[in-house]
Amino acid sequence: MVSATSLTSGFGIWDPILWVLAIIIGLVIAWILWSSGFSTYKKGTEQARPYLSGNAEPPKGEVHIRAGNLYWGFTEGLKGYYQRIVPLHTGIMTDYLLWMFWVAGILLIIVMVV
Amino acid sequence: MIPGYITTNAPALLIAVPLLGAFLSPLIGKISRDARALWVLAVMTLTALIGYFVAFLVYTEGTLLYVFGATNATLAVPPDSGGIPIRIIFTLDAMSALMVTIAVTVGFAVILYSLTSDARRSGLEAYYTIFLLMIGAILGMVSTGDLFNFFVFLEISSLASAGLVAYKVEKGRAVEAGLKYLLVSTIGGIFFLFAIGILYGQYNALNMAMLADMIQWTPLDKLALVLVVAALAAKCGAVPMHFWTPDAYSMAPSAVTAMLVVASQASLYGLFRICFTLYGITLNYVTIGWVIIILGILSMIIGVTMAIPQKDIKRLMAYHAVSQTGYMLLGVGVGLAVLGDQALLNSYGMTAMEGGIFHIFNHAMYKGLLFLTAGAIIYQVGTSDLNRMGGLGHRMKWTMIFFIIGALAIAGIPPFNGFASKFLIYESVFAFSPLLSIIAMVVSILTLASFVKVFHSVFMGPPLPGNEQVREAPRTMLIGMTILAAIVIISGIFPEFFVQNLITPAAHALTDQAGYISAVLGGA
């Protein structure tokens, strides 16, 4: 069904209003489920402490997984790619300009030949 | 009612107001800091109002001409000029109007934000002067119908942007970033100037409509186009000429970075304007279209993969800006690749262009918002190092909400605006080449993954030691972010309104070369 809010691509239709309605219904269902649970949480008691298999809780600063530790598997998996692409970002100004000249040169050949 | 002389001269005022405001800013600053802040805000508000008015005129009445120095504002070709439009002419069609709308909207939100975010810095008299100059230059770039005029505004924009990138002189890194930006911009400017010289030497004209009417795709025209594409692709941060982007975006004050995104988009506008309006179907549109598509695909892939391992929040976002520019190049590039085939253009080419152009609008809003949230975080935490952040969601709830909105939008998650433009790009580009569309979708997934990392690193977890004193960002900064966040949501929930009223006319303006020429030259 195409409504006034539908975005048509010529191949498909996107209606964000339906999506928003679906989100709202989902949130209402979630809220109903949540509110039907037992309210036994007591802040500041033993309940609020994380359970770490019986081990003592480390200092707060140590339990947070920092940005540098995220997605190491991704970068490790693509090590071959990153080993080639990162060194290209030299930070050297003359390299920046060299890339511009390379692109202009290659473009010139393409445009003149094709 | 608006006085007649204002409505008649609105295109000139669009440039004159920020320029006048810029040069008077240091003088007003002599009175007091508050007076200067009020002055800058008033100038930007007035510029925005004029910008919206000009855009309204264009969308309701069609292409708007303004001829500097003529008794009649529409007298483009003087009777005694031999048929050559010798005066400086602003030619505002729907594409220009869209860019004006973007520039004044982001400009207003950013200035409002900047009044607090940069209030504790020194040298503000220069800062606001350069900032308003930059906004005036961007508006000039997207309004002018004259190639040399475009070059002049491009240079003003480059100089002002470089000055602002280098504004935080601490430790010299910002100055280095400003110098890099300046050097790339200068070489790009020289490329552009050579291209103008080549075209002027052949056709004896600088007006884009006049040149479009005469251009023939000679070897010299090809050389001029190559120089223009290289210069403007570098200025908009397309891979492999993107290296300046993370340096400049990360070192500039965050409000400036949000505006640098718009400055880059003004260069992108110039690239599209020259390819479509100046050269049109005289160029080898399949080849040039594919060149732009390949630049777009490279930008998307290398931008997002370089973003993922970054540990500096603004450097990470800068690489995403490169990646998102790729979507715009991809969408509009597909439109260019089928420009000469009316059936394919109608089938998917126009939709691809609409997707690319809509992404320009959306990107300016959500990327501006993301840089402003990054600025708010840095303002409160005092570092841009993601490894030294954590647990800020407890104390910066509004900033976190704005970040979520911006992050979901850039990742193309419904119902935010990034999805709407990517939806148009995915579907239309799929008809052109399924592989390109799949790459675009994969890049979106990686973008989401990257912003999940930022969200976790900055906002999740327990408040870290040393961040106990962190508070929510000041109110004016939040208002600036609210404006952009509201647009991200509204344009995501009502995309068809934006597409029908702003984007489709802009796409048609780009492809309607004959309309542009006749608007300027008329029956001359």
* ipTM score assigned to the predicted complex: 0.91
**Where do the H-state alpha helices sit in B308-433?**
313-337, 342-344, 350-381, 397-410, 417-432
Cβ of A17 under 8 Å from any chain B Cβ?
yes
Output the pLDDT for position B492.
95
3-state helix, strand, coil in chain B (%, to 5): 80, 0, 20
As a whole number of Å, the CA-based R_g of chain A is 28
Subunit contact B428:A91, Cβ cutoff 8 A: no
Output the pLDDT for position B124.
86
Subunit contact A114:B284, Cβ cutoff 8 A: yes
CA B108 from chain centre, in angstroms, equals 14
Subunit contact A100:B230, Cβ cutoff 8 A: yes
Output the pLDDT for position A79.
95
Output the pLDDT for position B214.
95
B522: left (phi over 0), alpha (psi -120 to 50) or beta: left
| Beta carbons of B375 and B399 less than 8 angstroms apart | no
Subunit contact B234:A111, Cβ cutoff 8 A: no
The closest of B189, B324, B184 to B261, measured between CA atoms, is B324
Q: Which H or E run includes B490?
A: helix B475-493
Question: Mutating which of A97, A106, A112, A113 best tests the B interface, going by the most B Cβ atoms within 10 A?
Answer: A97
Taking only the tens place, the pLDDT of each residue in B9-56 is 999 999 999 999 999 999 999 999 999 999 999 999 999 999 999 999
> Sorting pLDDT into bands at 50, 70 and 90, what band is A2?
low
Subunit contact A91:B284, Cβ cutoff 8 A: no
pTM: 0.94
Residue B478 identity (one-letter amino acid): L
Spatial distance between the Cα atoms of B234 and B321, rounded to a whole number of angstroms: 13
Output the pLDDT for position B524.
47
* Most confident region among A11-20, A52-61, B218-227, B465-474 by mean pLDDT: B218-227
Q: What six digits make up the tokens of A93? A: 């100004």
Output the pLDDT for position B172.
86
The closest of B216, B341, B509 to B517, measured between CA atoms, is B509
Cβ of A1 under 8 Å from any chain B Cβ?
no
Give the contacts of B12 (CB within 8 A, at least 6 positions apart). Answer: B66, B68, B90
The closest of B49, B242, B50, B21 to B132, measured between CA atoms, is B21
Class of residue B86 by CB neighbours under 10 A (exposed 0-12, middle 13-18, buried 19+): middle
Question: Mutating which of A2, A6, A14, A62 best tests the B interface, going by the most B Cβ atoms within 10 A?
Answer: A14
Question: Mutating which of A84, A96, A98, A113 best tests the B interface, going by the most B Cβ atoms within 10 A?
Answer: A96
| HEC sequence for B449-487 | HHHHHHHHHHHCCCCCCCCCCCCCCCHHHHHHHHHHHHH
Q: Mean pLDDT of successive 10-residue segments in chain B (524 residues)? A: 80 96 95 94 97 96 90 73 82 97 98 89 89 97 96 97 90 91 96 98 94 95 97 96 96 96 97 96 95 98 96 96 98 97 96 98 98 96 92 94 98 95 97 97 97 95 83 95 98 95 97 94 66
Subunit contact A14:B495, Cβ cutoff 8 A: yes
Give the contacts of B229 (CB within 8 A, at least 6 positions apart). Answer: A107, B271, B275, B288, B291, B292
Terminal-residue alpha carbon distance, chain B:
35
**Cα-Cα-Cα-Cα dihedral sign, residues B45, B47, B50, B52:** negative
Spatial distance between the Cα atoms of B145 and B353, rounded to a whole number of angstroms: 21
Output the pLDDT for position B87.
85
Dihedral of the alpha carbons of B166, B167, B168, B174, in degrees to the nearest 10: 0
Q: Could you say which residues from 68 to 107 on chain A have a Cβ atom under 8 Å away from some Cβ of chain B?
A: 68, 70-71, 74-75, 78, 81-82, 85-86, 88-91, 93, 95-97, 99-100, 102-104, 107
Which residues in chain A are closer than 8 Å to B390, comparing Cβ atoms? 61, 64, 66
Subunit contact A10:B222, Cβ cutoff 8 A: no
Subunit contact B243:A91, Cβ cutoff 8 A: yes
